[in-house]
Structure 1
């Protein structure tokens, strides 16, 4: 080997050691930078002809296990999804209360039952009547509050969807830019490790927002797709589109998140934080709302069924009008009747409120009844046949009983029932002659399709005139004996029956395709409220456990990935000593060769 070759070989060793120390110093400096992967370059022998001509370093590469990186991203997606679901379920749990909490619906139902039982023992007590109305108002307001806060949570989820979509779009553009830089660097044989680290960090952040599919082209570009195959990034970024929904009501659907480039709509199956937020806004919270709407409508209907056994105002009146308006949402008169049965009694009274005439309307004896007008005709025929002066009418889409030639009229609904477009109800309840609870603008059908009960909890209220005048609270049934007081003040039969509502088992409908978590079941009102609470508590606990497990799994995978790609300071310092020794050795060779050149030069002189 000539001195020139020796000099060039030593210089290559000096340069290689210098480059190795530069790479090592970069590793040490970035040891605590999240997402940084260890860089290295393998030394390779330079061969000229058949001779060793020194050393050179390969291209700087990252020490990364791509499979583990991908696994960590998938676990990040699942963990972000579970954390978001767990957070919102915890918020629902805080809203609805916990077992043993006095603020739960079951507790409010028990308070209403207790106040009714107290009134039944003292029907003349103004304080007891006031307690009933206050307990009923508190229950109604609790339903109202649950609805407003549930819809506020939907609005919060909607706002977070907007923020998440913007974050996703930012990361898609960042990955696109990095793809371009990486492919250009590969084309010019420049190192790409730092750019790949940046892209991996962007992918890690993106994977928290939604589940991804990825693969890398030979050009170094990373292709990113949704879990359903919608293309998000290649050399271009296909951005998501979303317009915030705005004010939420129980029936308000949330606006969709779309991928305009493909026309796809992202749903809860998108995974990650975005999928969880869509699930919360369009599934979890509407299902919770569906359960409390179903409970509110059942309470309304069962309490009203009994309250209608008492006549309006606890006193005969010149007329008794039904509260139900028969015009449906399309402006049509929905007054179809499938069948009638049983009988009810009308009492005509004098000015003192005493019975002067008792009229029995036997619906079992009626000809086929197709609608309310047929029913009115039959009632008037039977009243006339018994010498009564009261009349029934159906005007302005409202059913009314009028006293006619006597001072007043009162109704005992008896066992008369109507099976119509509102289901099967007692006569007075069907027309809303003496309802206690109202849900304005919400259909009042106890067996309605799930969509028809939506919003019942939002508008539930005690009838406003009862709130203003507690004497209107029904307490006793109409007496029909001629000469007797039509509605004696001490009669508490209706009040007692109202208290019994809360001990009765009712059939709650299955939500079917509508919103709701609980399947159909037979239980009491407070039992159903307890079931809603128990479901929410169990679901919250399940998500908390799953989140803890998912977090531990993710941390384990992250530790394994960092063990392979992370920087070990001790190892780097050991390598630095080796590179320093190699540098010094190469420098010593250069110095020795230089001395030999100087000796040759001196000899030549």
Structure 2
């Protein structure tokens, strides 16, 4: 080897040392920079013929653990989802209040029943009557406030979705722009490392908003998909998300796949080719903060609203509804006559019959005068029973025609008009026997002669459970329920339920009735409250229902908090594992610095020796 060759090799070594020192310097300087991935110099031996002739710098490598990075992004989405759910459920607990404290539904309900009990002990006492009405108003106001709190949380989720969609768009655009900048650079180009760090940071931000899957091809172009397969970024092109946020939600604000029926925002993804898809309808986002807000807005908080609405509806109907049995028809054919004159929209006519196998069936016919709401869902819990809707607005002849069309052939029943009453009998085939018929109606007067009364109203209207094409009256009732204004104007009607003859002084019939219905009577509650199932709905007293759904919410909030804590532990563990491989290790960098210092000194010494030898040759 010639001295000039030795000098050239030593100079290439110095250049490599300088480049490596620059890498170490950059690593040390960015040790605490979020998203920075440690870099290492990539170098190769220069070979001339069969002899080494120096070292060349190829580029830099990022010390990236791609597998752990992928896991971390998945768990980041899970953590964001769990923390958002836990945070909002914690806020929902504040809406309900701490059990046992003042300012809660339980406290308001207990105060109301206690006042009713005191009224029964002194029925005509005006102070006791005022106490009952004050407690009833406090309960109604607590239901109103609970609804307001729930809808505020839903409105917050709606606004969070709007912010998150904007953040997702920004991240997707940034990924696409960085892909474009990286097109002309190899993966080991020193300039590419910084751009790839920036791209990874944008992908990490997107992973907290939604569940994603990331692929990188041979030319360093990254594509991003949701885990359901919808492409968000493909090379230099990014999809665009839009969200039509609503300013403020109410209990009637619900999402629907039909845009004409939806009253909350939905997320539309427009692909680079112009195709559009509804991400909520397709369930295209299943984790991350966006998925959590959708779940909260459309399911969790809707169920919470259903619970307080069910309580309000049961509270109202328990005191105002009366069931009247039909008059038997001797036959043959046998059956019952029932008056429908007092049946209001939402009220029901019931008929029970046994089939040829002696199996009992009950058909509940709900008055639904809005044709756009028909047919209504069959909400019967027993598979042998049915719930149907019938339009009563056309009169008795129309009702008979509809009932015969819907029930005649299948149930072997015959419906007809008997004067002003509806008659239901078997069809004479022996395939069915009518065993009972009745109507459940809402009492409209405070002095109907019965202890039932419209104690609570839907603002100024009776609560009957009416169903229309836009909503059921029960939806949002907890936000509208109030004490009947006529009762507030005349508190004596808490005792007086008949004027001819006048209810005797000291009569406790009505106060006893109200107290019994609100403390001891058993009701069946809709499965959409989260209690029970369609085949086995929850049954119990109003206090037990209240305790059950408050307990359910408390347990759900506790579980969500535990899940969030567990998810945070997983994320922190993966982050530590990722940092251990991909982050800057100061001990390693210091060790590399010492090695480079020694290497630099050695290469410099070689150059000094070669220079000395050259001077000796020149002086010879």
TM-score (norm 1): 0.78
Displacement after TM superposition at 1:190 (Å) = 5.4
Give 2:566's aligned residue: 549
Asked if 1:287 corresponds to 2:300, the answer is: no
Contact 2:124 2:495 in 1 (8 A): no
Give 1:436's aligned residue: 455
Contact 1:287 1:517 in 2 (8 A): no
SS of the aligned residue for 1:194 comes to helix
Contact 2:11 2:603 in 1 (8 A): yes
Displacement after TM superposition at 1:247 (Å) = 2.4
Tell me, in whole angstroms, the C-alpha distance in 2 between the residues paired with 1:525 and 1:335: 37
Displacement after TM superposition at 1:303 (Å) = 1.7
Q: Against the structure 1 CA distance between its residues 369 and 297, is the aligned structure 2 distance closer, same or farther, given a 3 Å change threshold?
A: farther
Displacement after TM superposition at 1:516 (Å) = 4.7
Displacement after TM superposition at 1:560 (Å) = 0.8
Tell me, in whole angstroms, the C-alpha distance in 1 between the residues paired with 2:553 and 2:187: 57
Instruction: From 532, 553, 576, give the equivalent of 2:549.
Output: 532
Give 2:508's aligned residue: 492
Q: Once the two structures are superposed, what CA deviation does each residue of 1:511-530 show, in whole Å capped at 9, x if it has no partner?
A: 3xx56555421111111111
Give 1:576's aligned residue: 593
Displacement after TM superposition at 1:227 (Å) = 1.6
Tell me, in whole angstroms, the C-alpha distance in 1 between the residues paired with 2:142 and 2:466: 23
Displacement after TM superposition at 1:221 (Å) = 0.8
Tell me, in whole angstroms, the C-alpha distance in 2 between the residues paired with 1:442 and 1:428: 12
Displacement after TM superposition at 1:224 (Å) = 0.3
Give 2:382's aligned residue: none
Displacement after TM superposition at 1:486 (Å) = 2.8
Matches within 5 A, 1:93-242: 93-186=93-186, 191-234=191-234, 235-242=236-243
Tell me, in whole angstroms, the C-alpha distance in 1 between the residues paired with 2:460 and 2:290: 34
Tell me, in whole angstroms, the C-alpha distance in 1 between the residues paired with 2:107 and 2:137: 14
Displacement after TM superposition at 1:275 (Å) = 0.3
Q: Against the structure 1 CA distance between its residues 443 and 51, is the aligned structure 2 distance closer, same or farther, given a 3 Å change threshold?
A: farther
Tell me, in whole angstroms, the C-alpha distance in 2 between the residues paired with 1:187 and 1:584: 31
Tell me, in whole angstroms, the C-alpha distance in 2 between the residues paired with 1:289 and 1:263: 32
Matches within 5 A, 1:368-447: 374=420, 419=438, 423=440, 434-440=453-459, 444-445=463-464
Asked if 1:263 corresponds to 2:264, the answer is: no
Q: Against the structure 1 CA distance between its residues 275 and 150, is the aligned structure 2 distance closer, same or farther, given a 3 Å change threshold?
A: same
SS of the aligned residue for 2:185 comes to helix
Q: Name structure 1 gaps, 5 residues minimum.
A: 309-320, 340-367, 377-416
Q: Once the two structures are superposed, what CA deviation does each residue of 1:513-552 show, in whole Å capped at 9, x if it has no partner?
A: x565554211111111111100000000001111111111
Give 1:465's aligned residue: 486
Displacement after TM superposition at 1:426 (Å) = 7.1
Contact 1:245 1:255 in 2 (8 A): yes
Q: Against the structure 1 CA distance between its residues 71 and 26, is the aligned structure 2 distance closer, same or farther, given a 3 Å change threshold?
A: same
Tell me, in whole angstroms, the C-alpha distance in 2 between the residues paired with 1:451 and 1:427: 20
Tell me, in whole angstroms, the C-alpha distance in 1 between the residues paired with 2:564 and 2:504: 63
Q: Against the structure 1 CA distance between its residues 89 and 189, is the aligned structure 2 distance closer, same or farther, given a 3 Å change threshold?
A: closer
Contact 1:65 1:561 in 2 (8 A): yes
Larger RCO (alpha carbons 8 Å, 6+ apart): 1
Q: Against the structure 1 CA distance between its residues 226 and 443, is the aligned structure 2 distance closer, same or farther, given a 3 Å change threshold?
A: farther
Q: Against the structure 1 CA distance between its residues 128 and 486, is the aligned structure 2 distance closer, same or farther, given a 3 Å change threshold?
A: same
Displacement after TM superposition at 1:141 (Å) = 0.9
Q: Once the two structures are superposed, what CA deviation does each residue of 1:71-95 show, in whole Å capped at 9, x if it has no partner?
A: 1111111000000000111111110
Give 1:58's aligned residue: 58
Give 2:523's aligned residue: 507
Tell me, in whole angstroms, the C-alpha distance in 2 between the residues paired with 1:188 and 1:214: 20
Asked if 1:474 corresponds to 2:491, the answer is: no
Total equivalences in the alignment:
513
SS of the aligned residue for 2:182 comes to helix
Q: Name structure 2 gaps, 5 residues minimum.
A: 255-263, 325-340, 346-366, 373-390, 401-414, 423-435
Displacement after TM superposition at 1:496 (Å) = 1.2
Matches within 5 A, 1:16-55: 16-55=16-55
Q: Against the structure 1 CA distance between its residues 285 and 427, is the aligned structure 2 distance closer, same or farther, given a 3 Å change threshold?
A: closer
Give 1:407's aligned residue: none
Asked if 1:590 corresponds to 2:607, the answer is: yes
Tell me, in whole angstroms, the C-alpha distance in 2 between the residues paired with 1:531 and 1:586: 80
Contact 1:13 1:54 in 2 (8 A): yes
Q: Once the two structures are superposed, what CA deviation does each residue of 1:76-121 show, in whole Å capped at 9, x if it has no partner?
A: 1100000000011111111012332233222222211111111111
Q: Once the two structures are superposed, what CA deviation does each residue of 1:33-63 show, in whole Å capped at 9, x if it has no partner?
A: 1111110024322101111101123320101
Tell me, in whole angstroms, the C-alpha distance in 1 between the residues paired with 2:484 and 2:343: 10
Q: Against the structure 1 CA distance between its residues 517 and 78, is the aligned structure 2 distance closer, same or farther, given a 3 Å change threshold?
A: farther
Contact 2:487 2:494 in 1 (8 A): no
Contact 1:447 1:509 in 2 (8 A): no
Tell me, in whole angstroms, the C-alpha distance in 2 between the residues paired with 1:498 and 1:369: 37
Q: Against the structure 1 CA distance between its residues 79 and 90, is the aligned structure 2 distance closer, same or farther, given a 3 Å change threshold?
A: same
Q: Once the two structures are superposed, what CA deviation does each residue of 1:250-287 show, in whole Å capped at 9, x if it has no partner?
A: 11122111112243222374310000001111111111
Larger radius of gyration: 1
Tell me, in whole angstroms, the C-alpha distance in 2 between the residues paired with 1:427 and 1:374: 21
Contact 1:322 1:434 in 2 (8 A): no
Tell me, in whole angstroms, the C-alpha distance in 2 between the residues paired with 1:335 and 1:428: 25
SS of the aligned residue for 1:102 comes to coil
| Of 145-154 and 438-447, the range deviating more from structure 2 | 438-447
Tell me, in whole angstroms, the C-alpha distance in 1 between the residues paired with 2:446 and 2:34: 68
Displacement after TM superposition at 1:334 (Å) = 4.1
| Of 184-193 and 526-535, the range deviating more from structure 2 | 184-193
Give 2:248's aligned residue: 247
